[in-house]
Amino acid sequence: MTLDFLLTTLIIVATPGTGALYTLAAALGGGRRDALVAAFGCTLGIIPHMLAAALGLAALVAAEPRLFEAIRYAGIAYLVWMAVGLWRSGLAGDMTAEPKQRASRIIRKAVLINLLNPKLSLFFLAFLPQFVDPADARPLATMATLSLVFMAVTFVVFAIYGLAAASMRQRLVTRPDRMRVVNRLLSAGFLLMAGRLALAQR
C-alpha cells in the first residue's frame, strides 16, 4: 500500500455522492446512531463491487450492455423513489420503530444505493489494479487488503459527515420551516444523482 493509494482513496471517498447524501439524510432524520448505521451500510454496499472487480465479474458488466443497463435503470428508479419519499415524508424519521428495525431499514437502503450503481463495479475494476504490482505473487490478497483500507476510509469519512449533520439536527427539528427546506434540498440531491446515473456511460 502506498501514500498515493491513501490520498487517492481519501479524495474519492470525500467527494460527495449518493452514499454521503444518504448518510446526511439519515443523520438529520435520526441523529448520531442513525448516522453511524448509515455510514456502516454504505460501507457494506461497497463489498459486492469490490468482489466483482477482484473476481473479474465487473468485466462481465462492462462487456454486457444489457446487464449494465438493467442495473443502471434499477438504480435510477431507486434514487427517484428515495427522492420522492424524502419530499413527502420530512426528515423527522420514524422514531417509533424499534432501534433494530430502524437500523435494518437504514442498512438495507444504504446497501441498495451502492449495489444498484453499476458504475462502481467498473470504477473498482479500473481503480484497484493500478495499485497492484504486476510482479505481485498474491494479487488477490493485495486487492483484498486495498479493499479493506478503502472501506475503512469510507466508513470514517461518512461517519464524520453524518456526525456533523447530526449535531445540527436539534436546531432543525425545532424549526419545521428549516427542516422542510433541508428536506427539499436532499430530495433534489437524490434527483441530481439519478440524473447523473442516467447520463452515465460504460
pLDDT of residue 163: 93
Average pLDDT taken over every residue of the chain: 81
How far apart, in whole angstroms, are the C-alpha atoms of residue 24 and residue 123?
23
* 65 SS3 class: helix
Mean pLDDT (whole number) for 159-180: 82
How far apart, in whole angstroms, are the C-alpha atoms of residue 127 and residue 56?
13
Residue pair 93/34 in contact by the 8 Å Cβ criterion: yes
- Per the confidence metrics, is the pTM higher than 0.85? no
Residue pair 39/155 in contact by the 8 Å Cβ criterion: yes
Whether the predicted pLDDT of 92 surpasses 60: no
pLDDT digits over 28-69, tens only?
Answer: 888 889 999 999 999 998 888 888 777 766 666 666 777 777
Whether the predicted pLDDT of 93 surpasses 60: no
Confidence band of 162 (pLDDT split at 50, 70, 90)? very high
pLDDT digits over 102-125, tens only?
Answer: 888 899 988 988 888 766 777 777
Element (H, E) at 9: helix 3-14
Helices (H), 15-64: 18-30, 32-44, 47-55, 57-63
Alpha-carbon distances, residue 103 vs 38, 137, 192 (angstroms) = 8, 41, 26
How far apart, in whole angstroms, are the C-alpha atoms of residue 48 and residue 114?
9
User: Among 74-83, 84-93, 151-160, 184-193, where is mean pLDDT lowest?
Assistant: 84-93
pLDDT of residue 43: 92
pLDDT of residue 201: 63
Give the dihedral sign, CA 163/37/193/82.
Answer: negative
* 116 SS3 class: coil
pLDDT of residue 138: 82
Q: CB neighbours of 187 closer than 8 A, spacing ≥ 6?
A: 83, 84, 86, 87
Domain ranges of the chain: 18-91+120-199
Q: Is the pLDDT higher at 38 or at 185?
A: 38
Q: Environment class of residue 32 by beta-carbon count within 10 Å: exposed (0-12), middle (13-18) or buried (19+)?
A: middle
